[in-house]
Structure 1
Amino acid sequence: MAEHQAPEAHSHGPSPHAAHHRSRHGRWARLRHRLAHLAVPHGHEPADKVDGALEGSREGLRTLWLSVAVLGATAVAQAAVVAVSGSVALLGDTVHNAADALTAVPLAIAFLLGRRAANQRYTYGYGRAEDLAGVVIVAVIAASAALAGYEAVARLLDPREVDHLGAVAAAALVGFAGNEWVARYRIRTGRRIGSAALVADGLHARTDGFTSLAVLLGAGGSALGWRQADPLVGLLITAAIALVLRDAAREVLRRLMDGVDPELVATARRTLAAVDGVRGVGRLRMRWTGHTLRAEAEIVVDGRLTVVAAHRLAVRAEHALLHSVPRLAAVTVHTDHAPEDGDEDPHGALAHHQGRG
């Protein structure tokens, strides 16, 4: 079906819903409504949507700055050991830690941009900045993999002794502890606020943790007199970075291509079908904008309903979706009437527009 919408029969985002509540209910009704939501805390008023998005950005920024402090301190400590030991494996780990700290900059800018309100040019807001930051993160991961690989190959061609093996091992352990803490923190926060870029950054940090353990193995090999152990571990680190690069790139690309978990779509479809008065569910589309979801849905209703009744049904459908789909911030519901025998296709005039962008 085409996206033809009659304003009087549709629900356009959360604003009509809020207006409906204000017009139909008094202060005590709204209070009861809010108390009921304590059991299912998923707001659907426009202010709730704005507050939720801002809180997600604030939480993301807190996570970024705290993790930057941890990773920065880890990288500085490791860089000091690299300077005295000459370990190329530890150098690769240090570069990766520094790169991971730097990726917080574009992501922080994206979170700050995401707070800006929609305007006449960017009618959906600035949430897409988060996805662009994800592209930058993927590029940084790729660059760090290339640098680590280059240094490892160069050291294989020109082997050198690694000094201060005890310090290298200690720095490796520090790197693992710092990165694993940051990884858990970023991934947990990213999943909670729905930020694919922050999850990708957390996966980046997790790889650094495992590469730090690989540095420890390289130090052990060097202690046994195997000069190639350190650069070989550097190559293993490069391979590990490449694997994370693949996963992070896949996640970011899905967001850029408006990919959504099919289970979310199935949940939304079941929710709409269960709304009293909905006779069928037509096209349903969802997309991420930063770390919030938007949806467009078509429902089939009784053709004998008045415009007012059809609108109320659309609002109920929107309300149900906002409660059942996590991170859903806005919904547009289009109502179609159930066809009768001999009825002309109500969308016939739009048929020649089908398939256009």
Structure 2
Amino acid sequence: MSATHQSRLDREFTEASKVTVIGMILDAVLGILKCIGGLLFHSQALFVDGVHSFTDVLSDLVVLIVMKLSRQGPDSNHPYGHQRFETLGTMILGSFLIAIGGALAWDNLWRLISTETLTAPGWPVLVVALVSVAGKEWIFRYTRRVGEKIRSDLIVANAWHSRTDALSSVVVLVGAAGAMAGFHWLDAVAAIVIAVIIAHVGWNFTWSSVRELVDTGLSQEDIRRLKAVAAGTEGVRDVHDLRSRRMGSDILVDIHLVVKAEISVSEGHQVGMQVLRRMRATLPNIRDINFHIDAENDQSGTPTTPELPGRGEIRNYLRTQVPELEAVPHHLRLHYLNNEVHVELFLDQAVVALPATGEIQSRMDGLPGLASVKVWQPRD
């Protein structure tokens, strides 16, 4: 891994740690205020919202740990890097939110349907809820901006977790105001709504993480864009077998490129490098592209099999059948197309005492899979 890449990972971890610690301090302060305020001033919705804030504190701790792991460079055990730790952390956070949301929803639903007398909240509940809305909306915008800057799905997910805390505080405001106006049941309903919001956010985190862990590919629209970019590159005759998967914020791509059979290996590789450059310009989050250069589309026609004779076998057979070549400097170029082998024989000097091309091919007919023989020699 290059020093530049490691420097970028270190910088991203520093920025992620800073915004996460700031958010964690804010969540802890708001959680204490809301839980105490909810108990003292008879608002179950505010108390549940306080629990929600403490889940943010826990999520911030998970983010710090996971970001430290995921921003390590590749090693012998993790040659593609450690970004999947970020995905795993997001899934754990989502699962925890689902459990917390379900438990709080059930508890408040039981309060609502029981014969327990519901007490109207006091006015300080409204003040605490307003402070929470302002604080959480600010930290949401700050965290999301950093997450998008460093391309971290986990930081962006944590930002949206903060946004749900702001929205849940709005629900507290509505529920508390309604309860103070005489609709005491509104506070319990607000608590249930908040719990459902928590569980819904947790489900979204968990589902997106599971999709990534099972190697779900890019959207069909992105696939079409990448194929169009590859097919439009000079030297590319066809594109097939484009596969993709995600690892954290990075995208990994495999693609087969069909080029002219007669070009050199180095030219084919250069065509692939041009495809790589253009695809990265289309989707900047692409980290690795493995391209396979094909001389034919092996998805159509007769695919070439590994049973065809290789260079060593062909050279030995040629020496046996055309012994006149022993005294002539030469080299071979082989083309494997449509499950056949085409042999090009290049003589390094003009030779008169050599069988004609038709005679050489006739002598070579016993070679399995042989389609044609061409002989090239310099002019006198």
TM-score, with length taken from structure 2 = 0.72
Relative to structure 1, the CA distance from residue 56 to residue 324 in structure 2 (aligned partners, 3 Å threshold; closer, same or farther) is farther
Query: Is 2:186 the counterpart of 1:235?
Result: no
Q: Comparing both structures, which one devotes a greater share of its residues to strand?
A: 2
Query: Is 2:129 the counterpart of 1:193?
Result: no
Relative to structure 1, the CA distance from residue 291 to residue 176 in structure 2 (aligned partners, 3 Å threshold; closer, same or farther) is same
Q: Deviations over 1:238-293 (max 9, x none)?
A: 23233323333332222223232333323322221122111111111222212222
Relative to structure 1, the CA distance from residue 200 to residue 79 in structure 2 (aligned partners, 3 Å threshold; closer, same or farther) is same
Distance in 2 (CA, whole Å) between partners of 1:144 and 1:180 is: 22
Alignment-derived partner of residue 86 in structure 1: 42
Deviation of 1:132 after TM superposition, in Å, equals 0.4
Query: Is 2:81 the counterpart of 1:125?
Result: yes
Distance in 2 (CA, whole Å) between partners of 1:243 and 1:115 is: 28
User: Unaligned 5+ residue runs, structure 1?
Assistant: 1-14, 16-45, 350-357
Task: Kindly indicate whether the alpha-carbon contact (under 8 Å) linking 1:90 and 1:168 is maintained by their aligned counterparts in 2.
Answer: yes
Distance in 2 (CA, whole Å) between partners of 1:159 and 1:231 is: 11
Distance in 2 (CA, whole Å) between partners of 1:241 and 1:206 is: 11
Alignment-derived partner of residue 308 in structure 1: 266
Alignment-derived partner of residue 108 in structure 2: 152
Structure 1 or 2, whichever has the larger Rg, is 2
Task: Kindly indicate whether the alpha-carbon contact (under 8 Å) linking 2:87 and 2:213 is maintained by their aligned counterparts in 1.
Answer: yes
Q: Deviations over 1:150-194 (max 9, x none)?
A: 33134322233245x211001111122222222333334334433
Quote the sequence identity (%).
24
Worse-matched range after superposition: 51-60 or 143-152: 51-60
Q: CA RMSD in A?
A: 2.5
Match for residue 91 of structure 2 among 135, 144, 147? 135
Deviation of 1:73 after TM superposition, in Å, equals 2.1
Task: Kindly indicate whether the alpha-carbon contact (under 8 Å) linking 2:102 and 2:196 is maintained by their aligned counterparts in 1.
Answer: no
> What is the DSSP-based 3-state SS (H/G/I as helix, E as strand, rest coil) of the residue aligned with 2:184?
coil
Worse-matched range after superposition: 231-240 or 208-217: 231-240
> What is the DSSP-based 3-state SS (H/G/I as helix, E as strand, rest coil) of the residue aligned with 2:261?
coil
Task: Kindly indicate whether the alpha-carbon contact (under 8 Å) linking 1:63 and 1:186 is maintained by their aligned counterparts in 2.
Answer: yes
Of the two structures, which has the highest relative contact order with CA contacts closer than 8 Å and spacing of 6 or more? Answer: 1
Supply the AA of the counterpart residue of 1:143: A
Query: Is 2:20 the counterpart of 1:64?
Result: yes
Q: Deviations over 1:200-235 (max 9, x none)?
A: 322222222111111111211221233222112111
> What is the DSSP-based 3-state SS (H/G/I as helix, E as strand, rest coil) of the residue aligned with 1:284?
strand
Match for residue 274 of structure 1 among 232, 236, 242? 232
Task: Kindly indicate whether the alpha-carbon contact (under 8 Å) linking 1:196 and 1:251 is maintained by their aligned counterparts in 2.
Answer: no
Deviation of 1:88 after TM superposition, in Å, equals 0.7
Query: Is 2:168 the counterpart of 1:202?
Result: no
Query: Is 2:63 the counterpart of 1:103?
Result: no
The count of residues paired between Structure 1 and Structure 2 equals: 303
Distance in 2 (CA, whole Å) between partners of 1:334 and 1:213 is: 54
Alignment-derived partner of residue 288 in structure 1: 246
Worse-matched range after superposition: 214-223 or 174-183: 174-183
Deviation of 1:103 after TM superposition, in Å, equals 0.6
Relative to structure 1, the CA distance from residue 283 to residue 330 in structure 2 (aligned partners, 3 Å threshold; closer, same or farther) is same
> What is the DSSP-based 3-state SS (H/G/I as helix, E as strand, rest coil) of the residue aligned with 2:86?
helix
Task: Kindly indicate whether the alpha-carbon contact (under 8 Å) linking 1:203 and 1:248 is maintained by their aligned counterparts in 2.
Answer: no
Deviation of 1:329 after TM superposition, in Å, equals 1.6
Distance in 2 (CA, whole Å) between partners of 1:241 and 1:347 is: 56
Alignment-derived partner of residue 286 in structure 2: 328
Distance in 2 (CA, whole Å) between partners of 1:76 and 1:328 is: 43
Relative to structure 1, the CA distance from residue 297 to residue 192 in structure 2 (aligned partners, 3 Å threshold; closer, same or farther) is farther
> What is the DSSP-based 3-state SS (H/G/I as helix, E as strand, rest coil) of the residue aligned with 1:194?
coil
Relative to structure 1, the CA distance from residue 209 to residue 256 in structure 2 (aligned partners, 3 Å threshold; closer, same or farther) is same
Relative to structure 1, the CA distance from residue 271 to residue 256 in structure 2 (aligned partners, 3 Å threshold; closer, same or farther) is same
User: Unaligned 5+ residue runs, structure 2?
Assistant: 308-380
Distance in 2 (CA, whole Å) between partners of 1:210 and 1:203 is: 10
Distance in 2 (CA, whole Å) between partners of 1:339 and 1:149 is: 57
> What is the DSSP-based 3-state SS (H/G/I as helix, E as strand, rest coil) of the residue aligned with 1:103?
helix
Relative to structure 1, the CA distance from residue 54 to residue 75 in structure 2 (aligned partners, 3 Å threshold; closer, same or farther) is same
Distance in 2 (CA, whole Å) between partners of 1:141 and 1:247 is: 10
Supply the AA of the counterpart residue of 2:142: Y
Task: Kindly indicate whether the alpha-carbon contact (under 8 Å) linking 1:128 and 1:290 is maintained by their aligned counterparts in 2.
Answer: yes
Task: Kindly indicate whether the alpha-carbon contact (under 8 Å) linking 2:237 and 2:259 is maintained by their aligned counterparts in 1.
Answer: yes
